[in-house]
């Protein structure tokens, strides 16, 4: 058997500059590599003779009762029975990845002395977990929901967690209401329906009675609630935190993650279909991007306000249902995060990772945001019940710096600490560290007041920013929002709920209320008393997040072929797409070799029935008369093209492939299938024209078709 020493050696050989990865390797075992000739053992290390058959009291025929004395069998079954741990009460379904964070320069030094935000020579390892909120662990990825975006920075000063979402505001202002809100959005208690959806009576009942929820409800009902990819969404810390600089001054701060690829969404019909076609769509998308080297990236931005400006606005800056509009408080972009490594084992890493808003490092502080104050308790508490007392010792959770204190024992204690377990002690071991030497020094905030269960006056206003959000959307985004609310209310069969919801919508925008009422058969409310302010804000519409230089990086392009296709055209397209870091997939009549017109063949990645157009960003129909003829007469292929067209995807075709598109779309009103004039080296991918690297093959062709928006 290969010795433990070999495993240890591998650990050190494989150490990387990523401190956290090196740390995790201490606990990572790869039996195939580390113990190639070892045999299976019990949990106490004894070699097992037969892991397949329970010990029996047999008769000569080999049958007989199983014996309870079989310790190997008992251990196997016992450990299996105890595999599940409580799933997260919210954000149960998630996917995680490793990466790193680096600041560009010392911009943030004005505000904080935290090296993670100010030292450009530092590379901080991170672990990010994305999640949906409502559904259980086994629910689908593309449901309409808020997405969690939680980041753990492993810094030498301790772990720092930003436990954020892809939406900058939250449903409620005070943590005391969280259990009610979660009970309302979760499946209804009598029948545990619906899974992964907010389209039900209880959710809309709660929100229609709580106008503070409207701002976030509008964000979720917009296209933000159905992201195309976890890599194409923003992240927000949501709560207001504070930064403390070397001079001891405090600033309020909001954290923003902005994706390199822009902000993109599915259309609702796609989202619904993908839920069934590939419930793991977002998980696989993240893995595919990392494995193919199209590493997801976000810049970290901060919105900062000195203490002196706290009361300057018509909203309270500590109210988590409000944004700080960028016109009022511009964002400073200070660093970049890259995700570049998938997990080795889902349970040990993604399931056991535990985030806490209370995990901060010197130079960063909390604020009196009442939602944050409650969160700081809840996360700590929930990890105890999910993972047990010593959850911070789990490899994915432990910091890269030493953890030294007099806290001891508890279930599953895995550290053996020598010496005394109390402070003060006669040896002066582990003395407290002064703020000047790096100890966490609490900011001397002035506190005075009465003990009251109350909310600050500006917390009472709930509609201005909801309207601001709606006004700032593009016409198509507004249309989607109205359709989304109409879908949700269609699933609420209690007339009281519908009536209240429509009345609440009316407070925000009469036209929205009217349109929804017509769709769901409700009464059209009279014009509201509140005067609309008609204001708009920048960078609310996701259309405003297109990258400066459009990208096709990581986009999935399906190339439809059949026997007799033109191989040069397909290979040329694939090469060109690869240059732009897009991924191409050959879809054919079978998953196997497909012969080209010249006799050579290519392997199809999938067959027409194995995948659907919904799973790709663009389609290309290969030229070649034999291929086109078969494709044209294949109902499923015609459906691929029509469906992709319906979802506003780019469709490209060359030569005879154009006839396939022509046939699929012949009866679609307003579609002109004339080849485009002029430049032909533009490749259009959904949600924006994207210039691909010059595709000489396409340019040289006489007959080229590109449709898309
Ligand atoms: Fe929370 C999980 C984000 C309000 C209580 N929350 C959780 C996760 C994210 C958020 C991303 C998943 C973390 C992971 O991947 O493990 N939560 C938010 C945001 C909020 C918010 C952005 C508003 C600003 N949460 C919030 C409140 C409470 C909680 C007000 C309770 C008072 N949240 C929890 C929790 C969870 C959680 C019950 C479940 C699992 C966990 O913590 O680790 O404690």
The per-residue pLDDT for range 252-263, each reduced to its tens digit, is 999 999 999 999
How far apart are alpha carbons 54 and 70 in whole angstroms?
7
Residues 512, 651: contact at Cβ < 8 Å?
A: no
Q: Which residue has the tokens 């320069």?
A: 105
Annotation says 165 is catalytic: yes
Residue 126 in this model has a pLDDT that exceeds 70: yes
Atom of ligand 1 nearest to the CA of 176: 32
Residue of the CA atom closest to atom 23 of ligand 1: 170
The ranges assigned to domains in the chain are 3-81, 94-168+226-393, 550-707
Distances (CA, A) of 283 to 98, 143, 685: 14, 13, 22
pLDDT digits (tens, 9 = 90+) for 181-236: 999 999 999 999 999 999 999 999 999 999 999 999 999 999 999 999 999 999 99
- Report whether residue 95 contacts ligand 1, using a CB cutoff of 6 Å: no
Report which of residues 334 and 63 the model is more confident about.
334
Q: Is ipTM > 0.95 here?
A: yes
**pLDDT tier at 15, thresholds 50, 70, 90:** very low
Residue of the CA atom closest to atom 35 of ligand 1: 379
Residue 689 in this model has a pLDDT that exceeds 50: no
Residue of the CA atom closest to atom 19 of ligand 1: 164
652 CA from centroid of ligand 1 (Å):
43
pLDDT digits (tens, 9 = 90+) for 257-314: 999 999 999 999 999 999 999 999 999 999 999 999 999 999 999 999 999 999 999 9
Q: What is the CATH number of domain 94-168+226-393?
A: 2.40.180.10
Atom of ligand 1 nearest to the CA of 172: 30
Annotation says 506 is catalytic: no
267 CA from centroid of ligand 1 (Å):
27
Residue of the CA atom closest to atom 11 of ligand 1: 148
Of 210, 234, 356, 375, which is best to mutate to test ligand 1, by the most ligand atoms within 8 angstroms of its C-beta?
Answer: 375
- Report whether residue 250 contacts ligand 1, using a CB cutoff of 6 Å: no
pLDDT digits (tens, 9 = 90+) for 694-709: 222 233 333 444 554 3
In sequence order, which residues have a C-beta less than 8 Å from that of residue 7 and are 6 or more positions away?
Answer: 29, 34, 35
Bin 360: left if φ > 0, else alpha if -120 < ψ < 50, else beta: beta
Atom of ligand 1 nearest to the CA of 150: 11
Residues 320, 462: contact at Cβ < 8 Å?
A: no
- Report whether residue 164 contacts ligand 1, using a CB cutoff of 6 Å: yes
357 CA from centroid of ligand 1 (Å):
9
Burial (Cβ within 10 Å: 0-12, 13-18, ≥19) of residue 204 = buried
Residues 132, 195: contact at Cβ < 8 Å?
A: no
What was the pLDDT predicted at 702?
36
Query: 159, 165, 202, 506: which is the annotated catalytic residue?
Result: 165
491 CA from centroid of ligand 1 (Å):
27
| C-alpha triplet 685, 256, 93: angle, nearest 5° | 70
390 CA from centroid of ligand 1 (Å):
20
Residue 478 in this model has a pLDDT that exceeds 70: yes
pLDDT digits (tens, 9 = 90+) for 339-390: 999 999 999 999 999 999 999 999 999 999 999 999 999 999 999 999 999 9
Distances (CA, A) of 265 to 189, 233, 503, 558, 643: 31, 8, 29, 19, 17
Residues 367, 252: contact at Cβ < 8 Å?
A: yes
Residue of the CA atom closest to atom 15 of ligand 1: 129
Residue 410, CB-side half-sphere exposure with 13 Å CA sphere = 14
What was the pLDDT predicted at 16?
60
Helical (H) or strand (E) element with 33: helix 31-34
87 CA from centroid of ligand 1 (Å):
13
Helical (H) or strand (E) element with 272: helix 268-277
Q: Which residue has the tokens 């920048």?
A: 538
Atom of ligand 1 nearest to the CA of 239: 24
- Report whether residue 163 contacts ligand 1, using a CB cutoff of 6 Å: yes
- Report whether residue 320 contacts ligand 1, using a CB cutoff of 6 Å: yes
End-to-end CA distance of the chain: 61
84 CA from centroid of ligand 1 (Å):
21
> Average pLDDT of 122-128?
98
> Average pLDDT of 40-48?
97
- Report whether residue 230 contacts ligand 1, using a CB cutoff of 6 Å: no
What was the pLDDT predicted at 672?
58
How far apart are alpha carbons 239 and 45 in whole angstroms?
48
> Average pLDDT of 481-489?
98
Q: Strand, helix or coil at 309?
A: helix
Atom of ligand 1 nearest to the CA of 377: 32
Give the percent of the chain with pLDDT over 70. Answer: 92
110 CA from centroid of ligand 1 (Å):
30
- Report whether residue 583 contacts ligand 1, using a CB cutoff of 6 Å: no
- Report whether residue 238 contacts ligand 1, using a CB cutoff of 6 Å: yes
Atom of ligand 1 nearest to the CA of 378: 44
**Strand segments (E) across 500-621:** 556-560, 583-588, 593-595, 601-603, 606-607, 618-621
- Report whether residue 357 contacts ligand 1, using a CB cutoff of 6 Å: no
Residues 134, 202: contact at Cβ < 8 Å?
A: no
> Average pLDDT of 69-80?
97
The yes or no reply on domain 550-707 and CATH 3.40.50.150 is: no
What was the pLDDT predicted at 671?
66
> Average pLDDT of 424-451?
96
358 CA from centroid of ligand 1 (Å):
12
- Report whether residue 352 contacts ligand 1, using a CB cutoff of 6 Å: no
What was the pLDDT predicted at 673?
58
Of 86, 89, 91, which is best to mutate to test ligand 1, by the most ligand atoms within 8 angstroms of its C-beta?
Answer: 91
Q: Which residue has the tokens 């995990």?
A: 359
The pTM for the full model equals 0.94
What was the pLDDT predicted at 567?
96
**pLDDT tier at 7, thresholds 50, 70, 90:** very low
For residue 21, report the phi and psi dihedrals to the nearest 5 degrees: -65, -40
Any known ligand binding at 379?
yes
Residue of the CA atom closest to atom 42 of ligand 1: 379
Atom of ligand 1 nearest to the CA of 374: 32
- Report whether residue 94 contacts ligand 1, using a CB cutoff of 6 Å: yes
Q: To 10 degrees, the CA torsion angle through 124, 127, 132, 135?
A: -160
How far apart are alpha carbons 483 and 167 in whole angstroms?
19
Residue 11 in this model has a pLDDT that exceeds 80: no
How far apart are alpha carbons 693 and 576 in whole angstroms?
7
- Report whether residue 91 contacts ligand 1, using a CB cutoff of 6 Å: yes
């Amino acid at each position: 058997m290969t010795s433990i020493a070999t495993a240890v050696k591998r650990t050190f050989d494989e150490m990387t500059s990523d401190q956290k990865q090196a740390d995790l390797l201490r606990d990572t075992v790869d039996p195939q590599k580390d113990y190639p000739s070892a045999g299976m053992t019990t949990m106490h290390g004894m070699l097992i003779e037969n892991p397949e058959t329970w010990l029996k009291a047999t008769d000569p025929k080999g049958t007989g009762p199983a014996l309870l004395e079989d310790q190997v069998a008992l251990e196997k079954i016992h450990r299996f029975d105890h595999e599940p741990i409580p799933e997260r009460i919210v954000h149960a379904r998630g996917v995680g990845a490793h990466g790193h964070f680096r600041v560009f320069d010392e911009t943030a030094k004005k505000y904080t002395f935290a090296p993670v935000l100010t030292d450009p020579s530092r590379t901080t390892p991170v672990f990010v977990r994305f999640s949906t909120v409502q559904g259980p662990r086994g629910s689908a990825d593309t449901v309409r929901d808020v997405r969690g975006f939680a980041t753990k920075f492993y810094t030498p000063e301790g772990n720092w967690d930003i436990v954020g979402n892809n939406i900058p505001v939250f449903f409620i202002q005070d943590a005391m209401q969280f259990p009610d809100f979660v009970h309302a959005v979760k499946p209804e208690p009598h029948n545990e329906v619906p899974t992964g959806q907010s389209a039900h009576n209880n959710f809309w009942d709660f929100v229609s009675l709580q106008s503070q929820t409207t701002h976030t409800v509008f964000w979720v009902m917009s296209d933000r609630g159905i992201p195309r990819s976890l890599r194409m969404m923003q992240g927000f810390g949501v709560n207001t935190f504070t930064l403390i600089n070397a001079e001891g001054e405090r600033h309020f701060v909001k954290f923003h993650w902005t994706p390199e690829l822009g902000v993109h969404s599915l259309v609702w019909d796609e989202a619904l279909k993908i839920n069934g076609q590939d419930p793991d769509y977002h998980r696989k998308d993240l893995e595919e991007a990392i494995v193919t080297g199209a590493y997801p990236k976000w810049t970290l931005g901060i919105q900062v306000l000195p203490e002196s400006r706290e009361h300057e606005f018509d909203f309270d800056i500590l109210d988590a249902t409000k944004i700080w509009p960028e016109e009022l408080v511009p964002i400073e972009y200070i660093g970049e995060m890259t995700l570049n490594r998938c997990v080795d084992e889902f349970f040990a890493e993604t399931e056991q990772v535990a985030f806490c808003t209370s995990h901060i490092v010197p130079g960063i502080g909390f604020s009196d945001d009442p939602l944050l104050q409650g969160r700081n308790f809840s996360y700590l508490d929930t990890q105890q019940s999910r993972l047990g007392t010593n959850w911070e010792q789990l490899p994915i959770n432990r910091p890269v710096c030493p953890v030294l204190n007099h806290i001891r024992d508890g279930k599953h204690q895995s550290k053996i600490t020598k010496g005394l377990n109390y402070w003060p002690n006669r040896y002066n071991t582990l003395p407290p560290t002064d703020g000047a030497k790096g100890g966490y020094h609490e900011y001397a905030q002035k506190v005075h007041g009465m003990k009251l269960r109350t909310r600050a006056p500006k917390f009472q206003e709930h509609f201005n920013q909801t309207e601001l959000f709606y006004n700032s959307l593009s016409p198509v985004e507004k249309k989607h929002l109205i359709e989304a609310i109409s879908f949700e209310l269609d699933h609420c069969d209690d007339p009281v709920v519908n009536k209240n919801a429509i009345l609440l919508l009316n407070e925000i925008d009469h036209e929205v209320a009217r349109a929804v009422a017509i769709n769901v058969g409700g009464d059209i409310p009279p014009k509201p008393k509140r005067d609309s302010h008609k204001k708009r804000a920048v960078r609310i519409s996701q259309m405003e997040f297109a990258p400066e230089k459009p990208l096709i990086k990581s986009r999935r392009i399906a190339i439809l072929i059949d026997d007799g296709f033109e191989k040069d055209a397909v290979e040329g397209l694939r090469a060109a797409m690869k240059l732009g870091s897009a991924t191409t997939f050959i879809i054919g009549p079978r998953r196997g070799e497909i012969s080209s017109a010249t006799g050579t063949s290519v392997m199809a990645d999938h067959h027409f029935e194995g995948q659907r157009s919904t799973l790709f960003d663009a389609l290309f129909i290969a030229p070649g008369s034999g291929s086109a003829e078969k494709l044209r007469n294949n109902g499923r292929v015609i459906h691929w093209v029509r469906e992709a067209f319906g979802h506003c995807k780019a469709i490209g075709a060359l030569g005879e492939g154009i006839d396939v598109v022509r046939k699929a779309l012949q009866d679609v009103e307003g579609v002109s299938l004339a080849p485009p004039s002029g430049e032909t080296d533009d490749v259009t991918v959904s949600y924006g024209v994207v210039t691909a690297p010059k595709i000489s093959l396409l340019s040289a062709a006489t007959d080229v078709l590109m449709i898309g928006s």
